[in-house]
Chains A and B, each alone.
Chain A
Amino acid sequence: MLKELLARLHQGHRTIPFPREEPVLPERYRGLPAISAANCRDGCRECEKACPTEAITFAGGGDLRLDLGRCLFCSACEDACPTGAIRFTRDYRMVTRERAALLLGDAKTLELARALEERMLRVFGRSLKLRQVSAGGCNGCEAEVSVLNTVVFDLGRFGVQFVASPRHADGLLITGPVTKNMRLALRKTYDAVPAPKFVIAVGACAISGGPYAGHQEACGGAESVVPVDLFIPGCPPHPVTTLDGLLRLLGRRGRTVIR
């Protein structure tokens, strides 16, 4: 026992002070992309051609759109753009309640997730149990969700916990493009969660199919099977992005609009 206590002393305090303080992110972290149409050279479309997941659409006249739900954050568009019209910032906040809100444009602002409705918040605000379902996920999103349980992020301090059965859960957290072979299992798991319930889609795959969009073996994301209430973009999302999204859903982060 003494050995364990001594080790505990050596290992030190590891929990990050988020959300009380802003998180420390790596210098080269690729967060929320920013579009400045003023810089866009009309008609070159190099960004569109470079994107592996057709996340970028260009309707001419500076109307450049980037669908965060499809984005793999590979920044191939930024690399391809000769004039700096697309730039990946280090902003980790990008979780939304609506799919449509993930469509970034020049004039459009990203409306970050608002809190659950009052009635739902009364039930879930201080105790939220989630069941995770991987439906074709590559274990990237799964691993980055799993670390929320470690001492570093310590999800438990917010009353959020992953549970072993859908019957014990208030909602599902889905990763992966939903393969044909997982569609039935996902549907059954959803049906087993007692109402009121909600669904969180984590990662480009679960939102849009990601790199597997258009594959006949996959269904193009969670919405093809169940309604989704929270969209967490990324490939995979950084754990603080996911944590930020969950806290917003629980009304712990205030309403923010990013310009």
Chain B
Amino acid sequence: MMANELQKIGNAEPVALLKIPVLAISEWREAVLQEVRAGARICALFALPPRDSPVDPADGLARFGALKSRLYAVLGHDREAALAVCATDVEKAYPSLSQVIPQAHWFEREIAETCGVIPQGHPRLKPIRAPLSDAPFFEVAGDSIHEVAVGPVHAGVIEPGHFRFQCHGEQVFHLEIALGYQHRGVERALIGGPGLRTLHYMETLSGDTSIGHALAYVQAMEPLVGIEPPRRAAAIRGIALELERLANHVGDLGALAADVGYLPTASFCGGLRGDFLNLTARICGSRLGRKLLRPGGVCFDLPENAAVEFTRSLEGALRHVNEAAELLWSRSSVLGRFEHVGVVSAETCTDLGLVGPVARACGVKNDVRADFPSGIYRHAKVAVATHAGGDVFSRARVRWLEIQESGRLIRSLLSELAEGLAEGPILHEAFRAGRAAPVLAPDRLVVSLVEGWRGEICHVLITDRNGRIARYKVIDPSFHNWSGLEMALRNQQISDFPLCNKSFNLSYCGHDL
């Protein structure tokens, strides 16, 4: 089958499972390869385990034997706003894609781990969420080579992960990252839903991205019920998503400054980050945006006078952020530590399928808000920020540019709301309290993309014949980007690791699920 015959869908546009072509494995591989050669990125690559598969009581993982798993590939064409979807059935093994498509490597490791299907010829088949397994680390041999092991418990107030460096003196030859310490079984628990905890799982997939993940979820649910959220709710969601981006980007600028020992910006930004969190709390009572979103709309309208007060608070905070950032850009001692450190080339970025500010700092102009606009972003156009250096400086600079753009977006949404352009309810009547929960369309697949502050959040929801969740695949941007951090450390000084790590600032729990 030719690539142009694949089922193409848009962001948050459900498709009947029957319409997704199920190809023979060789055709499927060829189709995926053609799409990638035509410039597509792998947004998702995952398996739907066979129903009623036996579960091993020892580790809770499914054991399949001769049963077939169905592999789905979701390929994003960023310039066409189109997602190509195709499937294939595999038993115990299939020829790996990673040999020819490097960006498939982490996905295929996940498939092998969760479904027991072996991608044959995979260059490094090792579990991605089993840190206590005895799978060996990659080792560099030689007289003056030494190994440094860090984690899972780190020096700061951060999540656990293990980093294994192969060093020659100060120079890092290779870094291997072992994750999985945060594995809580979210995807398993989502099956059979939606239930009472579903939204809470979304809000805690990666707690610093509560709005981003919750938005991806409600955006997947709504078209399955056949409704659109009210325009006012969409605007409030946009404000919340941009506030989340502001808080985290500002926090990151401060943390980057702290990592090079430049304390003025570090301490200013540490406090300013809270100003944006507090704005979110003024909307919904929670600094992280908990309980703001729900399918059908939002739970809270903006407080009275928000247009005036929020705009004033926002402008004050942004003025202070810019002052703090200007200090950063004007200090040669800072720039000396930011520039040419932790470089990722545009080529590596594309090969590995990196996303978000990390990719844009390699000059790759991808942003879901502009490429696959949904919700309020169909009306509010986003100017995508890029920087070409691929180093720590570029990643800091892109964040700063995005801070400006988020500020602009929020102000324009606030004035739009103030002018009465989006008057009306904040929750669609299908989801009003007291009404029976709407039923999801059965046997559908929907891909929901959101540009969270770390980059592309991809949720794939598959419903069963009763309209319950048969599979809910979550791909946090960190899932793509952890291997980018490994590459950024090649030939760097090991003492630059904290700085490089902070410039990526990836999620452990968003990866581990």
Which of A29, A75, A79 contacts B433 (CB under 8 A)?
A79
Contact B158 A52, beta carbon cutoff 8 Å? no
* Residues on the A chain within 8 Å of B324, using CB: 7, 11
Of the candidate stretches A119-127, A210-218, A224-232, the one touching chain B is A210-218
Which of A4, A7, A139, A176 contacts B206 (CB under 8 A)?
A139
Instruction: Please report the C-alpha to C-alpha distance between residue A253 and residue B284 in the assembled complex, in whole angstroms.
Output: 29
Give A27-67 as 1s and 0s: 1 = Cβ < 8 Å from B's Cβ atoms: 11110000000000000000000111100000000000000
* Residues on the B chain within 8 Å of A152, using CB: 270-271, 274
* Residues on the B chain within 8 Å of A75, using CB: 291
Give A157-171 as 1s and 0s: 1 = Cβ < 8 Å from B's Cβ atoms: 000001011100000
Contact B155 A165, beta carbon cutoff 8 Å? yes
Contact A146 B184, beta carbon cutoff 8 Å? no
Instruction: Please report the C-alpha to C-alpha distance between residue A173 and residue B283 in the assembled complex, in whole angstroms.
Output: 30
Instruction: Please report the C-alpha to C-alpha distance between residue A246 and residue B30 in the assembled complex, in whole angstroms.
Output: 60
Contact A185:B153 (CB < 8 A) given known A141-B207, A151-B271: yes
| Cβ of A26 under 8 Å from chain B | yes
Contact B270 A138, beta carbon cutoff 8 Å? no
| Cβ of A181 under 8 Å from chain B | yes
| Cβ of B428 under 8 Å from chain A | no
Contact A140 B210, beta carbon cutoff 8 Å? yes
* Residues on the B chain within 8 Å of A215, using CB: 184-185, 189
Which of A4, A76, A185, A218 contacts B185 (CB under 8 A)?
A218
Instruction: Please report the C-alpha to C-alpha distance between residue A135 and residue B201 in the assembled complex, in whole angstroms.
Output: 16
Q: Main SS of chain B's interface residues?
A: loop
Instruction: Please report the C-alpha to C-alpha distance between residue A177 and residue B188 in the assembled complex, in whole angstroms.
Output: 16
Instruction: Please report the C-alpha to C-alpha distance between residue A8 and residue B320 in the assembled complex, in whole angstroms.
Output: 10
| Cβ of B348 under 8 Å from chain A | no
Q: How far is the CB of A76 from chain B (nearest CB, A)?
A: 8
- The residue on B at minimum CB distance from A176 is B182
| Cβ of A96 under 8 Å from chain B | no
Instruction: Please report the C-alpha to C-alpha distance between residue A53 and residue B201 in the assembled complex, in whole angstroms.
Output: 12
Contact A179:B153 (CB < 8 A) given known A184-B132, A211-B200: no
Contact A50 B207, beta carbon cutoff 8 Å? no
Instruction: Please report the C-alpha to C-alpha distance between residue A152 and residue B287 in the assembled complex, in whole angstroms.
Output: 15
Instruction: Please report the C-alpha to C-alpha distance between residue A12 and residue B287 in the assembled complex, in whole angstroms.
Output: 22
Q: How far is the CB of A56 from chain B (nearest CB, A)?
A: 12
Q: How far is the CB of B249 from chain A (nearest CB, A)?
A: 14
Contact A211:B320 (CB < 8 A) given known A74-B291, A164-B155, A218-B185: no
| Cβ of A259 under 8 Å from chain B | no
- The residue on A at minimum CB distance from B197 is A52
Instruction: Please report the C-alpha to C-alpha distance between residue A149 and residue B285 in the assembled complex, in whole angstroms.
Output: 22
* Residues on the A chain within 8 Å of B268, using CB: 7, 11
Contact B285 A51, beta carbon cutoff 8 Å? no
Instruction: Please report the C-alpha to C-alpha distance between residue A73 and residue B327 in the assembled complex, in whole angstroms.
Output: 40
Contact B196 A51, beta carbon cutoff 8 Å? yes
- The residue on A at minimum CB distance from B207 is A140
* Residues on the A chain within 8 Å of B153, using CB: 131, 133, 166, 185, 189
Interface residues of B in 289-319 (CB under 8 A from A): 290-291, 300, 303
| Cβ of B180 under 8 Å from chain A | yes
Contact A138 B205, beta carbon cutoff 8 Å? yes
Contact B207 A137, beta carbon cutoff 8 Å? yes
Interface residues of B in 193-212 (CB under 8 A from A): 196-197, 200-201, 204-208, 210
Which of B197, B206, B284 contacts A138 (CB under 8 A)?
B206
- The residue on B at minimum CB distance from A205 is B204
Instruction: Please report the C-alpha to C-alpha distance between residue A141 and residue B288 in the assembled complex, in whole angstroms.
Output: 10
Q: How far is the CB of A106 from chain B (nearest CB, A)?
A: 24
Instruction: Please report the C-alpha to C-alpha distance between residue A132 and residue B156 in the assembled complex, in whole angstroms.
Output: 8
Could you list some 25 contacts between A and B, CB below 8 A?
A11-B320, A26-B285, A27-B285, A28-B284, A51-B196, A52-B197, A74-B290, A134-B159, A136-B184, A137-B159, A138-B509, A140-B204, A144-B288, A147-B274, A150-B274, A179-B184, A181-B182, A210-B204, A211-B204, A212-B185, A216-B185, A217-B183, A217-B184, A218-B185, A238-B287
3 smallest CB-CB distances across A and B, nearest first, come from A140-B207, A138-B207, A164-B155
A interface list, Cβ under 8 A from B: 3-4, 7-8, 10-11, 14, 26-30, 50-53, 72-76, 79, 131-147, 149-152, 162, 164-166, 176-177, 179-182, 184-185, 189, 205, 210-212, 215-218, 235-236, 238
B interface list, Cβ under 8 A from A: 60, 129-132, 152-153, 155-160, 180-185, 188-189, 196-197, 200-201, 204-208, 210, 264, 267-268, 270-271, 273-274, 278, 281-288, 290-291, 300, 303, 320, 323-324, 327, 330, 433, 507-509
Known: A28-B283, A139-B159, A149-B157. 17 other contacts (CB 8 A): A3-B327, A4-B264, A7-B324, A74-B200, A132-B156, A133-B153, A137-B509, A138-B205, A142-B159, A149-B270, A150-B267, A150-B274, A151-B271, A162-B157, A179-B181, A211-B200, A216-B185
